[in-house]
Amino acid sequence: MNKQVLLDNLRCIPDWPIKGVNFRDVTTLFKNPDALKEIIEEMYELYKDKGITKIVGIESRGFVMSSAVAARLGAGIVLCRKPGKLPCETVQESYAKEYGIDTIEIHKDAISSDDVVLLHDDLLATGGTMKAACDLVHKFSPQKVYANFIIELNSEFPHSRESFNKDVEITSLLQF
């Protein structure tokens, strides 16, 4: 992987959304065709032999790469959204955040026990949203669950992986 292409196109915004946070803006990776292609190809290489049948994209930046990689792998896409955004019957998972409780959901018929599922989001910090998404997907008893991020903030959140079930294989393209 050419990490330099990604690093050269990743915009960092100091003190946003609050003072002391160095926000990594992946939208600049999406708008650059070379960076976008690099992410797609790297994710394809990571998962091409894993038998992925569904990719769960986490709202909303996770939708971008989930769709592109699903097309490349020949897999389906499942949207993981906040309540009230999906039109059919859903399954939900609630989780604690630093300022309250949040909930995510997916369609009740989105995943089967025959599926091999890859969950994708742009960034791993505390891991709360992805952990809840993994727990939600496990309710469907798929054959295997993987989780992927473009960026992992392991220097700021060194223990974020510890909250995940040990059977979830986690990868990230860039680590800070």
CA torsion sign for 158, 79, 47, 33 is: negative
107 vs 39: CA distance, rounded Å: 27
Count CB neighbours of 57 within 10 A: 25
In the block, residue with structure tokens 């896409």: 77
**Beta partners for 11?**
25
CB atoms within 10 A of CB 70: 22
Helix (H, G, I), strand (E, B) or coil at 15: coil
DSSP 164: S
Q: Is 93 among the catalytic positions?
A: no
Catalytic, 98? Answer yes
Choose the catalytic residue: 24, 38, 42, 61: 61
- Could you list the active site residues? 61, 98
